[in-house]
Structure 1
Amino acid sequence: MTADIKEAAMADRLTDERRDVVVVTGAGGMGTAIARRLGSGRTLFLAESSRGHLDRAVAALTSEGYAVHGVLTDVSDRASVEKLAQEAAGAGRLCAVVHTAGVSPATASARTIIEVNLLGTVHVIDAFEKVATRGTSLVVISSMAGHYASLSRDDEAALATAEAEDLLGLAAVAAVGDDAGTAYMVSKRANHVRVEAAALAWNQRGATVNTVSPGVISTAMSQAEAESPSGAHMLRMLDDCGAGRTGTPGEIAEAVAFLTGPQARFITGTDLLVDGGQAAWVRRHMRH
């Protein structure tokens, strides 16, 4: 390494704390794609509950030139998320938070799905709302499955506004029982309505909060789903709706880049479906 390159690298390290900060929860396929898309020239905080997954992702991103800090984080634990939010906010201007951490019916029980996908998302929204400043954007990765949930207006209102400590006792959550598929749909619909309800508080801080609902995306999680009993049906629907393929993590990263960018400052409290038209086909063309 030449003296000039060493000097430049040292200058970069010295100015890291003055860089914009991006936080990504989840070091899976979508999380790492989003980290790569948003992290250039910024201080990147990557949060993950698995030490092995976290260390591998941090090593890969570091080798590619990203200024990345790995933070072991359990999103189902409020204190863990609040610690992450405080560390990130103390490192510079918090410009983007992207919450991708989650589990699926093929890999987790109904209880774990509710604790991670529903309660964990509430912890992220609440913790980062406290440290959000003008220009901060939070994007929660939900799922098209949330558009298939059948909940009453009262149930949705309760999911949207209940305190975190009361969520597990709600009727809509209790009704899930041990059905992991239903737990997944309810948790992802809860993400949508929770973000809608949070938009006011985020607006008052000059910040935005939205969800992105991916369809079938080519990740390790979706591969596990494809190999599950419902996998063949899921893949057949992609052909039936005309998409003819799965989506890519890069396509989700581009949607997130739009919502966290300056061109989306007037977009908040809403959901962006990125599913190849599958939900639209289910609503208007599928024979029920």
Structure 2
Amino acid sequence: MDGQQTERRDVVVVTGAGGMGASIARRLGGGRTVILADASERRLDETLGALTAEGYAVRGVVTDVSDRSAVEKLAATAAGEGRVTAVVHTAGLSPATAPAEAIIDVNMMGTAHVIDVFETVATRGTSLVCVSSMAGHYAQLSREDEFALATTPTDRLPGLGVVTAIGADATSAYCVTKRSNHLRVQAAALAWNRLGARVNTVSPGVVSTAMAKAEADSASGVHMMKMLEDCGAGRTGTPGEIAEAVAFLTGPGSLYITGTDLLVDGGQAAWIRCHRTAA
């Protein structure tokens, strides 16, 4: 010991240690302590090793976001390291990788847990960004169902009619749960504003990650890739591009932005709304 007290750095929390989470950790983690969370210990260890080798101060916490107590442990760990300045929730499942029940547990309940729990450790300047999906913009829900998804206490969400009606349809589960992410953030903005903190969603289109590859290799993949050509983008997005959007929403240039969604999809949703020929 040299007698000097170890400096407590600002803290960035990233859930999901896949390609998008790792890219976001790299973009935001310079000079900060990164708390990286994932349900897979193997994937978490691999990403921790890579980030540590690159010089990042990073700590891993195995976390199943569908388990509220695990999210509470994650938040307590982060707050114990220093001031939580940014929380980026990327953990999620897709129809090509999981059944409907798991998608509901992780995408809907997990996101609701992250919003609820991290509100308890947020301080002035904290910014939470939940990674949703452009699929959330395609959910066809009534105003009543949207209000219920936005405002129902988290532990009662699984019993809503709009949720139980999903059944075993994984694609429907994905669209509804991603829309619920938008709605939960909108409803949470008031409480976060009162803390001097902010909460938003980012909705990526097709991004080059392992999850997107699984989708591209699925039955709907050809259709998905054709839409990218038809909308004029002509390519998938990159994890780095999503990381830049997240950096904006967690940085000083977006201090008046909260309770909203940033669509980052190469114009695909706009093409669907205005140019796609009706079947």
Same fold (TM over 0.5): yes
Identical-residue share of aligned pairs (%): 70
Could you tell me which of 196, 200, 210 is aligned with 1:210? 200
Determine whether 1:284 maps to 2:238.
Answer: no
Alignment of 1:107-122 (within 5 A): 107-122=97-112
Shift of residue 14, structure 1, vs aligned partner: 2.5
Match of 1:4 in 2: none
Aligned partners of 1:262 and 1:87: how far apart in 2?
Answer: 25
Shift of residue 181, structure 1, vs aligned partner: 0.2
Could you tell me which of 233, 243, 261 is aligned with 2:233? 243
Q: Secondary structure at the match of 1:233?
A: helix
Shift of residue 271, structure 1, vs aligned partner: 0.2
Deviation track 1:192-220 (CA, whole Å, cap 9, x = no partner) reads 01000000000000000000000000000
Aligned partners of 2:155 and 2:261: how far apart in 1?
Answer: 25
Aligned partners of 2:174 and 2:185: how far apart in 1?
Answer: 17
Match of 2:121 in 1: 131
Could you tell me which of 72, 92, 117 is aligned with 2:82? 92
Determine whether 1:171 maps to 2:171.
Answer: no
Deviation track 1:222-275 (CA, whole Å, cap 9, x = no partner) reads 000000000000000000000000000000000000000011010000000000
Aligned partners of 1:163 and 1:90: how far apart in 2?
Answer: 27
Shift of residue 87, structure 1, vs aligned partner: 1.0
Q: Secondary structure at the match of 2:110?
A: helix
Aligned partners of 2:25 and 2:57: how far apart in 1?
Answer: 11
Match of 1:57 in 2: 47
Deviation track 1:12-68 (CA, whole Å, cap 9, x = no partner) reads x922xx111000000011000000000010000000000000000001000000000
Aligned partners of 1:287 and 1:132: how far apart in 2?
Answer: 46
Determine whether 1:267 maps to 2:262.
Answer: no
Alignment of 1:181-260 (within 5 A): 181-260=171-250
Could you tell me which of 139, 143, 159 is aligned with 1:149? 139
Q: Secondary structure at the match of 2:36?
A: strand
Q: Runs of 5+ in structure 2 lacking a partner?
A: none
Match of 1:3 in 2: none
Q: Secondary structure at the match of 1:34?
A: helix
- Which residue type is aligned with residue 96 of structure 2? A
The TM-score, its normalising length taken from structure 2, stands at 0.98
Q: Runs of 5+ in structure 1 lacking a partner?
A: 1-6
Q: Secondary structure at the match of 1:186?
A: helix
- Which residue type is aligned with residue 257 of structure 1? A
Match of 2:59 in 1: 69
Q: Secondary structure at the match of 2:64?
A: coil
Aligned-pair Cα RMSD in Å:
1.2
Paired residues, what number? 277
Aligned partners of 1:154 and 1:114: how far apart in 2?
Answer: 19
Aligned partners of 1:111 and 1:287: how far apart in 2?
Answer: 33
